[in-house]
Amino acid sequence: MSLERYDVLVVGAGPAGLAAACAAAEQGSHRVAVVDDNPSAGGQIWRGEAGRPKSPSAAQWLERVRASRLTMLAGAQVVDRPEPGRLLLETDAGPREIGYQKLILATGARELFLPFPAWTLPNVTGAGGLQALVKGGLPIQGKRVVVAGSGPLLLAVAVALREHGAIVRVVAEQAPWSKLLRFGVGLAFTAREKVQQAVGLWGKLSGVRLLSGTWPVAAEGNGRLEQVTLTNGRRRWHEPCDYLACGFGLVANLELPLLLGCGTAGGFVTVDSMQQTNQVDVYACGELTGIGGLEKSLVEGQIAGYSAAGREDRASELFAEREKARRFAGALGQAFALREELRKLATPETIVCRCEDVTAGRLAAQPDARTAKLQTRCGMGPCQGRVCGAATSFLYGWPCEPSVRPPIFPVATENMVAR
């Protein structure tokens, strides 16, 4: 198997990764490649926009990608690091090895799912997950949808589903109105464009009930979802629906950074002012370093790209913009912090680890994550704790420890070549 070599290799083709790749490639003398497991660039936020972008931001960056002399390695998933400076990829055509001098990690984040009774019913999905399915062709026309959980993503998902013909009955945000109001007032003074974006989304949801301080407590149905029970802490009621799109924020995808030995704190990769990790010539940007939205991802990506290309002078020009984005990220985290009531949604019979069918009752009897894994196999299934790990961390206070043994994702045995 031949070894392809690049000066700068970016893992992840979302906004952060694309910004990093463009910043590095536009310096002219560097061979740059981007690896992503999706068939086209854009990540979750710009999924499906590679052909005909709808948002001005997506159009701008995707055009820069086309104009840059970089290589897109789509449909390729990193599964191992055979040795420093090399990554092993799994592709439809078989295994592939890539060599690099500088590596930029922009692997993004996934949704946080919290268990509640019958959350395993068919048609109970992640908020972003349902949006991705619809963008991929899932028919949603005329289907009744409840969107619930926490974070600005809920409004964006509701708008996207409605634009595809869904009947969005309710958007239920668990954060109380008091926190949302303080958040909005703060944005009015520091980021008016964010307020305008939110108002624009609200305007597209005319007629939809937008509820704060409200969260799901149970799904119900005979073989598939038929209704969801919501509460505002004072009363409960049923909402008939065909889909429940539910997500409680985001969790960084740390598997590859941990395999590389990158330092972490609080569930995120730690970086210096140039977005470099504690590993020499390895950088991280976007949601990996803290959940903060599109602007943070773009500016951190550019700083990482310029730094990897040896243009620290260009990178430093963006520090003030990054600081503004990070302040917004901090305010975002405070406004949408998860309420204590969510820790008590699961009954003893509620499945927490879906891969191994481990219930909350069995887990509550365990003192820590390691014991739970040994006694119940929680986190030992195909997802290797990517869903239940973050959930048990929130429910029981156990450290979330993603698996870092290669392969970091399930892979066909013929693609784990002998080395």
- What pLDDT, on a 0 to 100 scale, did the predictor assign at position 380? 87
- What pLDDT, on a 0 to 100 scale, did the predictor assign at position 202? 75
Q: Residue 11 corresponds to which tokens in the numbers above?
A: 């893992």
- What pLDDT, on a 0 to 100 scale, did the predictor assign at position 418? 44
- Residue 401 or residue 272, greater confidence: 272
Q: Is 387 found in the same domain as 265? A: no
Q: Is 93 found in the same domain as 151? A: no
- What pLDDT, on a 0 to 100 scale, did the predictor assign at position 416? 58
Q: How far apart are CA 226 and CA 238, in angstroms?
A: 10
Q: Is 410 found in the same domain as 365? A: yes
pLDDT band at 256 (very low <50, low <70, confident <90, very high): very high
How long, in residues, is the chain?
A: 419
Lowest mean pLDDT among 19-23, 301-305, 414-418: 414-418
- pLDDT above 70 coverage of the chain, percent: 94
Of 293, 310, 332, the one marking the end of a domain is: 332
pLDDT band at 402 (very low <50, low <70, confident <90, very high): low
Looking at every residue in the chain, the average pLDDT score rounds to 90
375-382 contact pairs (CB < 8 A, 24+): 377/353, 378/352, 378/353, 379/353, 379/403, 380/355, 380/356, 381/353, 381/354, 381/355, 381/356, 382/355, 382/410
- What pLDDT, on a 0 to 100 scale, did the predictor assign at position 282? 97
Domain that holds residue 60: 3-110+251-332
Question: Which of the listed ranges 25-34, 299-308, 326-335, 383-392 does the model predict with the highest average pLDDT?
Answer: 299-308
* Average pLDDT of the segment spanning 84-98: 91
**Predicted confidence (pLDDT) per residue in 97-142, tens digit:** 999 999 999 999 999 999 999 999 999 999 999 998 998 899 999 9
Res 39 pLDDT > 90: no
Of 223, 247, 271, the one marking the end of a domain is: 247
Lowest mean pLDDT among 33-42, 56-65, 250-259, 398-407: 398-407
Res 6 pLDDT > 80: yes
Q: Is 311 found in the same domain as 290? A: yes
Q: Is 67 found in the same domain as 171? A: no
- Residue 379 or residue 35, greater confidence: 35
Q: Is 196 found in the same domain as 275? A: no
Res 55 pLDDT > 90: no
Within 13 Å and on the Cβ side, how many CA atoms surround 281?
Answer: 12
Give the other-Cβ count within 10 Å of 329's Cβ: 18
Of 187, 212, 247, the one marking the end of a domain is: 247
Q: Is 278 found in the same domain as 301? A: yes
Q: Is 255 found in the same domain as 106? A: yes
Q: How many domains, the chain? A: 3
Q: Is 358 found in the same domain as 317? A: no
- CA 109 vs CA 14, 161, 258, 267, 288: distances in Å: 10, 21, 14, 11, 7
Q: Is 400 found in the same domain as 311? A: no
- CATH number of the domain to which 213 belongs: 3.50.50.60
Edge-first strand order for the sheet with 243-247 is 124-125, 243-247, 144-149, 167-173, 209-211
**Predicted confidence (pLDDT) per residue in 167-208, tens digit:** 999 999 999 999 988 888 877 766 667 767 777 787 888 889
Res 317 pLDDT > 80: yes
- What pLDDT, on a 0 to 100 scale, did the predictor assign at position 419? 46
Q: Is 210 found in the same domain as 142? A: yes
- Residue 230 or residue 293, greater confidence: 230
- pLDDT above 90 coverage of the chain, percent: 68
- What pLDDT, on a 0 to 100 scale, did the predictor assign at position 405? 78
Q: Is 197 found in the same domain as 224? A: yes
pLDDT band at 403 (very low <50, low <70, confident <90, very high): low
pLDDT band at 49 (very low <50, low <70, confident <90, very high): low
Res 406 pLDDT > 50: yes
- What pLDDT, on a 0 to 100 scale, did the predictor assign at position 18? 94
